[in-house]
Structure formats: structure tokens, C-alpha cells
Structure 1
């Protein structure tokens, strides 16, 4: 597999990690919330703001009206994917804290530098992740932080992100936090380890790709 492709799979795999952890629940007790994690709300307004960041970046990158409509059609699940990423960030943060795992700014910069070199430059990396995975340029470092947390948590457990030990740590963090998702944003199939309306490629590639980064 081409190195740029393997690196790009990092983001996709990170979203998939959440699959066995999240179940859709009615959240009538939390009006205005897209999800509640650990008693903390992710509001619909916060979610929409994140989605707007992506749409604005897509519009700037694709000024042609017809091409932009095609982009919209290809990214119809952007809102749900964005929310899942936001929830996953909190779950991973909880699991990482429990395991004593931390990520430094320098590690994020090192990872980004390696990926930019593979992609052919900073702009090329930002464009690739925007086009393929719906990550706005200003959120790229946040996404890399998510990747590093997952990789370092797995290593702290003596495993990798495709092994049961890793999933167990995330499941335990999820149970401690409690996750209440607004059902309008989708449901999760724990047995299939994926969102019920999506295919899931996966986690074994993230470990191979991550091992190339100077973490």
C-alpha cells in the first residue's frame, strides 16, 4: 500500500475505533445536545460550528458551483462523522488519562512533519484530509492528537489498536463516562464494530501507518 494512502487511513481508523463503544440513546433529558459524554454536553451548535468549518474550507477549495454540489453529495454523512469524532476524542482522552498516557505538542509537530513530507507539503496534506476525510485545515492537529492518543494507549497496554485489550480499555472508559447520543446522528452496531450505515475498513492499517511516524 502506498505510504500516503496508509497514512491517510489513520483518520478513518480513528473514527472506526468508536464503533463498539457508542450506542444511540434518546436524550430528551438534554435538549439542544447532540451528545452527552461524562455529563458534559456536545451541543448541536458546537457540532454545527465544526461542520461549518469543513463546508467553508470545501467551498474555498472548490469554487465551481457544480463541483461543490458534487462534494456535498459525497460528504452527506459529514455531520454524523464529525460528532462521532468529537465523542471519540473524549472517550480516548478518558482512557488515556486512566492509563497515564499523555501527548506533547512536540509529538504532534513531529507526526505532522512526517506526514507533510509524505504528502508533498503542508498544503497538500491539508487538502488531502479535507477532501478525503472532512477535516478542516484548522482541525488537523486535533486529529493528529487523536491518532497519537490511540497509538500510545495501545502501546501502554502492550498491544495495538486492532487487539481486544485496546478495545476493552476504550469500552471501560466509555462505561465510566456514559454516552448519550441523539439518535438523529446514527446508531452503532457493536457486533459489527461499525456504524450501521457505513462500511468500515481498518485498524490493522493504522498501526502500520503509525509506526512510520517519529513519535
Structure 2
């Protein structure tokens, strides 16, 4: 076992982001399955270390780090190759803004706790919930498509933070049968990223517990 431990759930897109970043940077880690369906993230010992009870959590250098973008920021400071954001302030801000279209605007209203509330507390059926998912994904993707480069990745020749956020969100989009025909640049970037080993090894099917 390595000293770096990722408390992970295979289908969590936030965990997926961190797995990609760790792989891109060549950081070895041990993954501990923390099932959202089984409630592992609500266990008292886990919440004592991570008060929100979310995944991922990365135990590294004596710290329990939470929130995927904060974790990736830590990794970027500690392992600077390849960089997830530019050292140029304007380019850094641009990358963060693009990544947050996904991490702050699309993902939070589509994650499991929101979907469970829509179903269990508000009484919506699955078709309505899927429609909800597709609406917010498409709205965010419409904006991100206009920001996407005509060629290459968001990071140019190598992935950056936006690419790391995009691929898990595209995975979710396909899970909910979102029409992606209006987002050809995003589809192209997703396909290009998924030819890279770091992304392939982080994919949900590659890490799903057997």
C-alpha cells in the first residue's frame, strides 16, 4: 500500500477527475472503494475526517483533502508536470472558469444526492429526473462548446484541468442519453482524451469493484 490513499467511488465524476489527474502526473496511490449506494461515505469515521461526507477524499502528506478541484490544485502544486493550469494569470483564470462550468454549474445539480431528493422527497419519476439531468448538462455544454478550441484539447497538445473535468461529465451525459450532436468540439476533445492511458485507466469500468 502506498502512503497516498484515494477514497473513491467508481461512478463519481468528481472521483473520476482526481483519478485522471493522479494518472497524468504519474502518482501512485491506493484506492479505497467508498460506496455511495451502500452509504460508506456517511460512516461516522469517514465523516469525522470529511464533514461533508463526499467523495473523493485524498489522504496525502498527513492531510485529508476534499473537493476534487482543491485536490487537483494540491497535486498541481506538488507535482507540476504536466501542469493542470497555466502559470500565466489570465490563462489560469480562463482555464478555471471553463472547468467551473462543469464542476460548479453542471455537476452539482446532477449528482446522486440531488437525484435522490428529486425522487424520494419531491416524488418525481425517473423519466422526469433524466430530463432534468439532460437539461442542465446541455445548458452547460452549450456554453462550453463556444469556449472549446477548434483543434487540439482545451490544454492544447496536452490535457489541462478543463479536459480532466470534461471527460467524466461526457460519461455522465451519455449515461443519461443526452443528445450531443450540438457539441462536436466537446465530443472530439473527449474522444482524443480517451485515447490516452491516463484517462483509460481512470474510467469507471476500469476501476469498478468486481
Normalised by the length of structure 2, the TM-score is 0.28
Normalised by the length of structure 1, the TM-score is 0.28
Greater helix fraction, Structure 1 or Structure 2 = 1
Higher relative contact order (CA 8 A, sep 6+): 1
